[in-house]
Structure 1
């Protein structure tokens, strides 16, 4: 059993820890609906860096403290105030966008345990994860258009169509729709919906299944291939997969697992 570790992240926005190979990042401002901000994005990027640098960490569970997963941009924050200096607003948006890119490119898979509403950019935060599991009160609310801003925010126009198709993504974003948990599961936005008191356990089961399925390096290459495959044609995917497999076939981890499998068959 690996030692439980708490990161040195002191930002109140997040609680970060790692135990038994499972990293945990918890949005921790429930009194203001776990909002997005520059401080949050910087804390999130630091947490992702630290967990990726931890050799014992194999997978990350992302969830929210309280009834809301993530309330999106805090009304009145620099993300939404018109009078704020545009250079500062651009800096904030770049910081938040870097967080989304970091999540997608991270070596470790991320499981979103969506405990409640994921609003606006909060929906993009969950969509940027590799797997999403929902509690019954989880929902996605594509809300920015209702406030006169573009619904195209934090990679949503990249992430959502790849999960539900362009036409359905257009319908959801252009109408400012709310997608409840069961509908989200039917659309492929959640892999499963479980009772609220079983959400943590369900996320941990999926995390453990990922840990058991393959070594960390193989998991990282699988995630990378999936990420790159979103923008490559079939020929490029096949070429990339061949290079990755050739590299992994030469590694000790593959040889050890292959020998163990063959010995079980005898």
Structure 2
């Protein structure tokens, strides 16, 4: 990867003074993920391992929102028709994005404005530092669409950030939490006005970029390694569990209700 000339097709990319900025760029849909953007993000973070000129990364918001999760029509609808092997390929691929984010040596700062839900919340969670605006609304909403709260490492990472009890509440109920709640819990490092979010995140990233980047990479690596359970093991377990949930009728009911703008009625099968 040459960060000076890199031109992804699925998200925006800028690079200046050692800092790369990434942002999903479909503001009319609150920046959802697609199969293609998942894969290109994964490949990008993998490539950052060898991009020594990139010292820090900001994963930013666009159009007043961070990310609305997997696109309902581009991802959720096809998943309801996939076989188990295909579903497991998908859940492993999404987990690979988190592995790539945790595995790249550069510190990642998430600059969260507006909606940050589902896989969008996971991207922020998988970042090293998180800043938010007062308008930020975050939800690990997998339960609300008939899936397990475990997804892309959520059960491994989220309790380590905010504690087991708070993580359990969020993953069981799928409720949203405010920026101030997130700051009080230690999920957000700071809450700043919307007009300062970008500069605040970039200033922090530039400070990291000016620091000892190799040492920062070692710090990040140790933060990953010094867990009781390896992240790979946790993500694989969650990938299998999530793939099983994706074959339930409740998952399909949730999609159909969402498409009809109705509340899903779950039946436990």
Q: Which residue of 1 aligns with 2:221?
A: 224
Matched residues in 2 for 1:183 and 1:31: separation? Answer: 27
SS at structure 1 position matched to 2:131: strand
1:146 aligns to 2:111 (yes or no): no
For residues 234-249 of structure 1, what are the structure 2 equivalents within 5 Å? none
| Among 95, 98, 117, the residue aligned to 1:97 | 95
Q: Residue 25 of structure 1 aligns to a residue in which SS?
A: strand
Between 1:78-87 and 1:35-44, the stretch displaced more is 78-87
Aligned to 1:121: 119
How big is the shift at 1:123?
0.8
TM-score normalised to structure 1 length: 0.79
Q: Distance in 2 between matches of 1:116 and 1:102?
A: 25
Paired residues in the alignment total 227
The question of whether the paired residues in 2 share the 8 Å contact of 1:139 and 1:184 is answered with: no
SS at 1:223's partner residue? helix
- Aligned partner of 2:266 in structure 1 is none
Give 4+ residue runs of structure 1 displaced > 4 Å after superposition: none
SS of the aligned residue for 2:59 comes to strand
Q: Which runs of 5+ in 1 are unaligned?
A: 233-266
Cα distance, 1:140 vs structure 2: 1.1
| Distance in 1 between residues matched to 2:52 and 2:81, nearest whole Å | 45
8 Å CA contact 2:22, 2:60 repeated in 1: yes
**Quick one: structure 1 residues 49 and 4, their matched pair in 2 at CA, closer, same or farther if it must change by over 3 Å?**
closer
Q: Secondary structure at the match of 1:140?
A: strand
Higher relative contact order (CA 8 A, sep 6+): 2
Cα offset for 1:4? 8.0
CA displacement at 1:204 relative to structure 2: 1.3
Match of residue 32 from structure 1? 29
Which residue in 2 is equivalent to 1:59? 56
RMSD: 1.9
In the TM superposition, what is the alpha-carbon distance from 1:50 to its structure 2 partner?
4.0
Query: Could you tell me whether the CA contact under 8 Å between 1:37 and 1:79 is conserved in 2?
Result: no
Q: C-alpha displacement at 1:182, in angstroms?
A: 0.9
Q: Deviations for 1:134-183, whole angstroms, at most 9, x for unmatched residues?
A: 01111211212112111211111111100111111111211221111111
Report if the CA contact (8 A) 1:7-1:47 is conserved.
no
Distance 2:163 2:41 in 1: 29
TM-score normalised according to structure 2 size: 0.79
Query: Relative to 1, partners in 2 of residues 1:23 and 1:52: Cα closer, same or farther, differing over 3 Å?
Result: farther
For structure 2, the 5+ residue unaligned runs are 230-269
Alignment of 1:11-30 (within 5 A): 11=9, 13-30=10-27
Partners of 1:28 and 1:89 lie apart in 2 by 26
